[in-house]
Structure 1
Amino acid sequence: MTKKVVNVEPDVPFHTFTVAQTETHLNVSVVEGLTSEDAAARLLAHGTNELKGSGGIKWYKVLWRQIANPLVIVLLIANILAFATGQFPEGGVILFIIIMNATIGFYQDFSAEQTMEALRNMSSPTSQVIRDESRIVIPNSQVVPGDIMIFEDGDVIGADCRLFEVFNLETDEALLTGESLPVQKNLDVIKKVDETLGDRLNMVFSSTTVVKGRAKGIATGTGMQTQIGKIATTLMNVDTNELTPLQKRLNKMAYFIFFAAVILVIVVFGVHGFRYSNEIAIYAISVAISMIPQGLVAIVTLTMAFGVSRMAKAKAIVRRLSSLESLGAVTNICSDKTGTLTQSKMVAVRMWFPSDGFYRVTGTGFIPEGEIFCQGEAIDGELHAPEEQVVAATGSDQFLRAIQAASLCNMAELRRNHHPETHGEWAAIGDPTEIALQVLAYKAGLGKPGLIEAGFELIAEFPFDSSVKRMSVLYRCPTTNNGPSEHLIFTKGATERIIGHCNYYRENDVEVCVKDEKGDDRAAFEAMITQKVDALAEEGLRVLSLSYRKYHPVSGVDLVHGLDRAEVESDLVFLGLVGIYDPPRAESLPAVQKCYEAGIRVHMLTGDHPSTAAAIAKEVAIIPMDTNVKNSSMVMSAETFDSMSDEDIDKLEELPRVVARCSPNTKVKMIAALHRRNLFVAMTGDGVNDSPSLKAANVGIAMGQSGSDVAKQAADIVLTDDNFATIVMAIGEGRRMFANIQKFVQHLMSGNIATILVLVVALAVKDKQGDSVFPLSAASILFMNLCYSSPPAIGLGLEPASETNMKEPPRTSKQGLFSFEVLLDMFVYGFVMAAFTFGSFMIVLFGFEDAQLGYKCNATYSDICDGVYRARATCYATLTLLILSHGITCRSIRDPCWTWKSLKTVKHNKTLWLSIVLGALVLIPVIYVPGLNRNVFKHLGISYEWGIVFAALVLWIAFVEMYKLIKRKTMS
């Protein structure tokens, strides 16, 4: 009989259900599994076990985003008007600029891979299930709610499941929770409905990995109803189309330019009494076009493309052009710990024994190379006493037993790879904590293979169980002097789960009972141990306890299967403590320090324990070394942070710099809190759990080597070397690029303002018929913008970073692209250039040519237009050289640019230098080539007028240096 199809609600707390309740709810038997008919019906009802995307990128939507840009729209309108009035050369050039910009933007956007595609590919391709009472393998996409799933060591779990059978099961959930250690699973019912994912120990989750052991579970969620599916939903709901500050400012500028251009057209026609003629219409269009920085969009895009190339060489791949300039505004970096600031390798670095005091262990990673030093008892709470090197041969009996416990009560393996290509590199297999203990044993000369070879024989094992947080083994020891064989029990685990089972401790190689002649001294014993645990924990170490006891076999008891765990793990002898930590990357500390020099605050958001996170944060300078973790607001648990309302968080004087035990929502909540404070946030991460926050941040930065595909696709920038220091370089590049954009925008707009003022003011100069005498032709206006304004602007976009680039605070909204100083400079430079240019035009026209204004000199040449044409050439040459020289001026907003020391540095920017030199050379054919000068540009060759041109240039340079000097004296 076919079972009914169940309706699985998305938020059913299956971790609070018993196995029987789960069976009933999902209408399945853990023994029989589903029938083929059940599975087919449920597949139809719930859909395939796949993550649904947002449909992928549509090429026409990407293309539309390139065209639907306000500045591009303004250019399109100007382009249409140019073609409509017969200005085909001008129209063709503008159209070329539009097509080039759209092509570059389209390629960048369309080539970016989709986040949801990576999420789809993370699921395992096949799963083992029980159907029709048989164990079969099916495509993972065919798993349905209620399927009985089977997991083994190394499997990628294909669906969220409620476990009903486990054997030494540990899973790696770092991608979901950020926890660096494998999670030991059990079958206990959890009563807390809103328990965090990391503590739902009776559940396993889709896309996590089985580290060791095996298990069976009932599928409770598939597809988008899994925990990873909820992350995918969050990603789809995050607005990824928010404009960057630069894009917003350029759009506002485009709107202003559009309305200003319309007004200028009206002004031109108004001066002529709204009388229409081809010459007036062409001039009106020319004035409107002169208002538009035709090359701005293309130069911004090309500058970003050059920035992308520079970043790629420095191991940072930019997936979105707009994110590069955003880096320059970053005020806060929210970083994951594991694999980002740390090496993601557990290392034993401290030990403590009651008789010997503290030990220090050197070496890193799982390479068994290092030394062990005995430091004795701590002095004033510090773990830095005089040292003495120790190995097994010279250590105390307690040291020997402790190392044996670490080595033998351990399932990890160390192997030296003898393949020629790996040159004998060490490899490790097993749990990271056990690997750290095994490496410790190797350093003491008591690695497990050596002990086994010496005669230690494993008899029984009680694997680590999260319910007791202990592991125990029974070994038969090698005999000495032909005596009877000895049996030893070694136990390791969490200190709070070990000391309660210890009735003795070793002191001076003597077993001391915790009960003395004065009575029960257990409280004092436990207080002593707790004090030492706290001392190690303050160093950010994960502390384990080691213990042992001699076991005397009872006649008739099967030592392999007949032992009782409770009896074995009783009456133990406490040996000592081992402190383990995940070391930070060598480059993390200087990188964080550089961030603070640049006015950028770093926050650590991690799934690790608060004490561990705080210690790493101290080591890499995220928080001061003297921070009292217990009483400092700089360190906070995610439970505390998540329980706070937005209002409470906003009342905090400073947001915490370390948040431990983070969930994905915690990270997003932190970013939202930073945004409410008008801060600009970069988020780094490597796991699936980081992807929502990578999307929510202003700039998402993923790790390329250790990062998941999901994180990479959710990010704006991917670091191919996983080097936190690369982030600092990237921010520096973002700052350099934004400063350069500011420079060439100032250059372009100053030139446009100067051109517009000359063209508008010249409307007052009338010929004998009352028509205005145009100082520049339409062809001259467009040619000037493209050949004299745009090339130096491109050169300014390639300017190297200033010496103070990363020693200044991040820019604020008042220091944006159009800050007061930049706007002031635009208009001051524009007015002064216009004054010199118009002055040159008037001097030639009225001072040397006897005011020969001619007749219809705007349309054709005649003898009476000779003065107008020579004045027009002078005007053209003056404005051209002033705009070209302005490229040098814009290299710095305040520093002098025309001193010999400054001019020598221009050689570092060959593009700027060549654009100025070639631009000046182009003046010669434009002014002197017959036909081209008179028929196209409507001016003639000049002679004495060059004296006026160069006089204007010298006065302009003198003014620039005086103006900057005044600014340096008066502006802070």
Structure 2
Amino acid sequence: MTKKIIDLQPEIPYHTYTVTETEVELKSSTIEGLTSDEAEVRLRRYGTNELKGSGGVKWYLVLWRQIANPLVVVLLIANILAFATEQFAEGGVILFIIIMNATIGFYQDFSAEQTMEALRNMSSPTAQVIRDETRIVIPNNQVVPGDVLIFEDGDVIGADCRLFEVFNLETDEALLTGESLPVQKNLELIKTAEESLGDRLNMVFASTTVVKGRAKGIVTGTGMGTQIGKIATTLMNIDTNELTPLQKRLNKMAYCIFVAAVVLVIVVFGVHKFRYSNEIAIYAISVAISMIPQGLVAIVTLTMAFGVSRMAKAKAIVRRLSSLESLGAVTNICSDKTGTLTQSKMVAVLMWFPGDGFYRISGTGFVPEGEIFRQGETINGETSTTQDEQVVTLDSGSDQLLRAIQASALCNMAELRRNNHPETHGEWTAIGDPTEIALQVLAYKAGMPKPELVENGFRLVAEFPFDSSVKRMSVLYETPSDEHLIFTKGATERILGCCSHYREGDAEIPLRNEKDDDSIQIEFESVIMKRVDTLAEQGLRVLSLSYRKFQPTKGVDLVHGLNRDEVESNLVFLGLVGIYDPPRAESLPAVMKCYEAGIRVHMLTGDHPSTAAAIAKEVAIIPADTDVKNSSMVMSADKFDAMSDEEIDALEELPRVVARCSPNTKVKMIAALHRRNLFAAMTGDGVNDSPSLKAANVGIAMGQSGSDVVKQAADIVLTDDNFATIVEAIAEGRRMFFNIQKFVQHLMSGNIATILVLVVALAVKDEQGDSVFPLSAAAILFMNLCYSSPPAIGLGLEPASATNMKEPPRTSKQGLFSFEVLMDMLVYGVVMAILSFVPFILVLFVFEDGQLGYKCNRGYYSEVCDGVFRARATCYATLTFLILSHAINCRDIRQSGWQWSRLKTAHQNKTLWLSIIIGAMILFPVIYVPGLNKNVFKHLGISYEWGIVFASLFIYTAFVETYKFVKRRTMA
């Protein structure tokens, strides 16, 4: 039974409440959080945690887009003319076309808008909360008052909170207060209810950003109940109607076609010496309408929405539609290593201590079960103990090992938990950075986990979080014996520079002698780096551990008054820890697929060059026989950053692996790729990665390990942080681009064919000197609606071809309207026009009596119109079948659409084949249903003419196969 909860009042001054009073008021617990049932009840009561009116799909705007376009304007004019001149049949068909076009367009556009909105919400900021006593990640809009919210460096705070646990927390509140400097938070009670927002230091507010540190708080306000909700409801708006570059190009093309359509109207009237009649006016407008690809914009939107949905299922969330177009042109992928190419399930497998040698750690994954074996100075690669190995415990080991385990446990923010739920059978789970999880598991295996140390009296005093610029993390702890210890971990070269001593057994040996000679330090660093290389060459990520005793200065605030440079100096070097993160099973096939697709893969990682190179070899980013020390394929960030742009541009090839990489290195790599006119995708997860993601052609954020800031800066968010997902996204981008190319070719070829038939037929005159129309106005409109747009939609949903990822990326010269595509449109359009117009002439002048009765354009007045009506039906049937079969032809620009390998995959695109079958079936009522054929479409039923229709279809198919064969032999 769910307990009753109270309605919250947004104006309650929670900054004047103690933590206990806040818990009571919100009926929550800082330790247990809310239950799932309680959270669900509150979500229904208070609504989702989002600003009202911020984004969303406006149906009336979507409907207006269907009406306010040149096509509908022309149709409305034609409709008014038809009814004004008592051409009710044509008027009814045109009105039907208007309604159908608007309905279909509205449905497609509205569905696409809803899909994009839903997917944007999926990639919106997430929140870490405690529910059912378990720390979980939920969409930020599911946060409710009373939730316990956890946030850290780089997070966008999702709701207003009363803080109850703070570690060096600083937030950027410029959005609310205009204060440019970060605000340092604390837990001190504020007694004044009217205190300004900037002075409420025990509160944090929605939409502000964590600049430094970490904290926990109880949610006091969500959605419109937050401070940001009171000030502005438009801050989180997302422009869902922004056109992509492709859509803009298609719109320009549509307007150019519209101008051409106006010219055609003038041509039709010019042929008739500008003599007005109802039939001529309606025919002229029908000709103009046939020039415009009516469903083009709607089909593009539908195709993109379908592509976005497919990518979401593949765990890639598209935040910006323009990135879909860019994906297909990607030539280089710059990827992180940890968690993207690897499993992000790191495990500490080796340690090394000066004078004590190597230690092997058994066990895998998050399960804290394993032992520590001493091996000496030789690394034993066996997976089980040997005679040379000795099981070591903290009791039997040295003080050096004890300090190293303490450093691993305490200089660490990761949490290891065992879920006692019956369904999980006591499964171990971990929260935090993968490297820190590995060290925490090591501490558990050694019998000294962090919770036990804290319980026994170790108290965290100050924390200096990991900073990519210094590549270190440090903590200050007070021990049970009231002494203070500093523990530091980080990259070896950055730790060594902070050390004045090293630990050997129980002794601390200085790195400088009395004469201040640095020869000892140089020699020691040389030994250390050799051991680092030894570990890194096995694909291990190497961290260094250090510590020192700290004597606080009286009067100094140990929480806020410490200087990082002072804390991280005169350290005592403890030893090395080698951590292994095995590559994902799918990484190697994905990289190989990239090479097949002409895409280069670069690994930009913070790891040691040897570690990075070892993993790069395993996943084939570099050849297995690469000499890491002498190859230009592997380079340290220090060397790469020191090079000038000219020196980088002079390189024959940009490095495939850049180690010890900083965020600035990533930006420099993107700039180097752009100078080579290459199209780059860049991955990132930290706040500092935002510049490189924005600089890249496609910015890709990690959905699991990435901060909210980097997700907002990215074009695409990977929900599984998997490199293989990037490759799938590129494949989808290529598929979508080529599908748009296919249906644009289909629509435009059909339009060219129809226009040519209509214009050339103006030369056929009746006995009064008027042109004999080969198609009625109703037939022209109906053909566009039923025979062009539906197959085009099917082509937009076409699955990727077998060669989709076996061809090089398209270049800027291979755009949507490449020379080959334009040539194909013209060739296919002309051939279809000839094969449709010739049957019209054959029936009219060869098989019939050749009588061209007066007013046969208006209707069937006597048997003298038989020939014209049968010729029209033949032309209409021929052009219809050619357009429908052309959809199959457009499935591939060079390969036959009738290949058995393609035909047997028809079930993968039922939309295309159903549109062709239904289109062919609709043709027969148009020709044979009495009244409908004569009065509306101005046809008569045909018989022997079907032989001409199918002969034209056979000739067209033979021509297409020959034409494609010639292209395959002559075009590169």
Same fold (TM over 0.5): yes
Deviation at 1:611, TM superposition (A): 7.3
> What's the CA shift string for 1:660-708, capped at 9, x where partnerless?
7777776566556645554444343444444555555444443333444
Q: Is the 8 A contact 1:540 1:614 kept in 2?
A: no
Is 1:743 matched up with 2:742? yes
Residue type matched to 1:393 in 2?
V
1:101 aligned residue: 105
Q: Is the 8 A contact 2:835 2:952 kept in 1?
A: yes
Residue type matched to 1:125 in 2?
C
Q: 1:648 to 1:865 in 2, by over 3 A?
A: farther
Moved more, 774-783 or 461-470: 461-470
For 1:769-784, list aligned pairs within 5 A.
769-784=768-783
1:705 aligned residue: 704
> What's the CA shift string for 1:792-837, capped at 9, x where partnerless?
2222222222112122222223332222222222111111111111
- Count residues in correspondence: 819
Residue type matched to 1:303 in 2?
T
2:544 aligned residue: 544
Residue type matched to 1:269 in 2?
F
Deviation at 1:583, TM superposition (A): 5.9
2:404 aligned residue: 406
> What's the CA shift string for 1:22-80, capped at 9, x where partnerless?
xxxxxxxxxxxxxxxxxxxxxxxxxxxxxx999955978994898499xx733234234
Larger Rg: 1
State how far apart, in whole Å, the 2-side matches of 1:403 and 1:888 are. 71
State how far apart, in whole Å, the 2-side matches of 1:492 and 1:713 are. 32
Percent of pairs identical after alignment? 63
State how far apart, in whole Å, the 2-side matches of 1:639 and 1:399 are. 40
Residue type matched to 1:948 in 2?
I
Q: Is the 8 A contact 1:682 1:701 kept in 2?
A: yes
1:276 aligned residue: 276
> What's the CA shift string for 1:307-343, capped at 9, x where partnerless?
3333333333344555434432333334455554455
Q: Provide TM-score, normalisation by structure 1.
A: 0.70
> What's the CA shift string for 1:426-459, capped at 9, x where partnerless?
356899766544533544x554699999xx9989
For 1:515-526, list aligned pairs within 5 A.
524-526=523-525
State how far apart, in whole Å, the 2-side matches of 1:749 and 1:522 are. 75
1:827 aligned residue: 826
Deviation at 1:83, TM superposition (A): 2.9
Moved more, 944-953 or 733-742: 733-742
For 1:229-244, list aligned pairs within 5 A.
244=244
State how far apart, in whole Å, the 2-side matches of 1:743 and 1:637 are. 44
Residue type matched to 2:161 in 1?
P
Is 1:869 matched up with 2:905? no
Partner secondary structure for residue 815 of structure 1: coil
2:349 aligned residue: 349
Q: 1:623 to 1:902 in 2, by over 3 A?
A: closer
Residue type matched to 1:274 in 2?
F
Deviation at 1:872, TM superposition (A): 1.0
State how far apart, in whole Å, the 1-side matches of 2:432 and 2:721 are. 24
2:931 aligned residue: 931
Q: 1:497 to 1:651 in 2, by over 3 A?
A: closer
1:83 aligned residue: 79
Q: Is the 8 A contact 1:378 1:385 kept in 2?
A: no
State how far apart, in whole Å, the 2-side matches of 1:924 and 1:902 are. 28
Partner secondary structure for residue 349 of structure 2: strand
2:722 aligned residue: 723
State how far apart, in whole Å, the 1-side matches of 2:282 and 2:460 are. 93
Deviation at 1:885, TM superposition (A): 1.4
State how far apart, in whole Å, the 2-side matches of 1:584 and 1:694 are. 24
State how far apart, in whole Å, the 1-side matches of 2:910 and 2:611 are. 51
1:496 aligned residue: 496
Q: 1:668 to 1:251 in 2, by over 3 A?
A: farther
State how far apart, in whole Å, the 2-side matches of 1:416 and 1:839 are. 79
Q: Is the 8 A contact 1:636 1:659 kept in 2?
A: yes
Q: Is the 8 A contact 1:763 1:773 kept in 2?
A: yes
Deviation at 1:911, TM superposition (A): 2.4
Q: 1:258 to 1:54 in 2, by over 3 A?
A: farther
Residue type matched to 2:957 in 1?
I
2:329 aligned residue: 329
State how far apart, in whole Å, the 2-side matches of 1:511 and 1:325 are. 60
Pairing partner for 1:125 from 154, 157, 161: 161
Q: 1:124 to 1:685 in 2, by over 3 A?
A: farther
Deviation at 1:121, TM superposition (A): 4.2
Q: Is the 8 A contact 1:505 1:513 kept in 2?
A: no
State how far apart, in whole Å, the 2-side matches of 1:773 and 1:810 are. 49
Residue type matched to 1:426 in 2?
W
Q: Provide TM-score, normalisation by structure 2.
A: 0.70
State how far apart, in whole Å, the 1-side matches of 2:620 and 2:276 are. 71
State how far apart, in whole Å, the 2-side matches of 1:407 and 1:398 are. 14
> What runs of 5+ residues in structure 1 fail to find an aligned partner?
1-51, 131-137, 164-175, 177-203, 213-222, 225-231, 478-486, 550-568
Q: 1:522 to 1:277 in 2, by over 3 A?
A: closer
State how far apart, in whole Å, the 2-side matches of 1:333 and 1:570 are. 39
Q: 1:452 to 1:470 in 2, by over 3 A?
A: closer
Partner secondary structure for residue 941 of structure 2: coil
Partner secondary structure for residue 367 of structure 1: coil
1:760 aligned residue: 759
Q: Is the 8 A contact 2:293 2:751 kept in 1?
A: yes
State how far apart, in whole Å, the 2-side matches of 1:574 and 1:120 are. 36
Partner secondary structure for residue 813 of structure 2: helix
1:921 aligned residue: 921
Q: Is the 8 A contact 2:700 2:714 kept in 1?
A: yes
> What runs of 5+ residues in structure 2 fail to find an aligned partner?
1-49, 83-89, 126-139, 141-154, 167-172, 189-195, 202-206, 217-226, 229-233, 550-567
For 1:508-519, list aligned pairs within 5 A.
none
2:36 aligned residue: none
Partner secondary structure for residue 125 of structure 1: strand
State how far apart, in whole Å, the 1-side matches of 2:75 and 2:270 are. 23
Moved more, 433-442 or 660-669: 660-669
Q: 1:414 to 1:905 in 2, by over 3 A?
A: closer
For 1:223-372, list aligned pairs within 5 A.
244-336=244-336, 339-341=339-341, 347-353=347-353, 357-370=357-370
State how far apart, in whole Å, the 1-side matches of 2:248 and 2:178 are. 47
Q: 1:254 to 1:159 in 2, by over 3 A?
A: same
2:891 aligned residue: 891
For 1:574-589, list aligned pairs within 5 A.
576-580=575-579, 585-589=584-588
Pairing partner for 2:69 from 51, 73, 91: 73
Q: 1:724 to 1:787 in 2, by over 3 A?
A: same
State how far apart, in whole Å, the 2-side matches of 1:671 and 1:776 are. 56
Deviation at 1:783, TM superposition (A): 0.8
Residue type matched to 2:405 in 1?
S
Deviation at 1:760, TM superposition (A): 0.8
2:442 aligned residue: 440
State how far apart, in whole Å, the 2-side matches of 1:623 and 1:473 are. 44
Q: Is the 8 A contact 1:684 1:703 kept in 2?
A: yes
Q: Is the 8 A contact 1:377 1:385 kept in 2?
A: no
Deviation at 1:349, TM superposition (A): 3.0
State how far apart, in whole Å, the 2-side matches of 1:570 and 1:280 are. 92
Q: 1:62 to 1:941 in 2, by over 3 A?
A: closer
Q: Is the 8 A contact 2:456 2:480 kept in 1?
A: yes
Residue type matched to 2:831 in 1?
V
State how far apart, in whole Å, the 1-side matches of 2:541 and 2:788 are. 61
Q: Is the 8 A contact 2:681 2:697 kept in 1?
A: yes
State how far apart, in whole Å, the 2-side matches of 1:462 and 1:537 are. 34
Q: 1:417 to 1:288 in 2, by over 3 A?
A: closer
State how far apart, in whole Å, the 2-side matches of 1:521 and 1:688 are. 39
- After superposition, the CA RMSD in angstroms is 5.6
Q: Is the 8 A contact 1:123 1:140 kept in 2?
A: no
Deviation at 1:345, TM superposition (A): 6.0
Partner secondary structure for residue 801 of structure 2: coil
State how far apart, in whole Å, the 2-side matches of 1:715 and 1:457 are. 44
Q: Is the 8 A contact 2:291 2:751 kept in 1?
A: yes
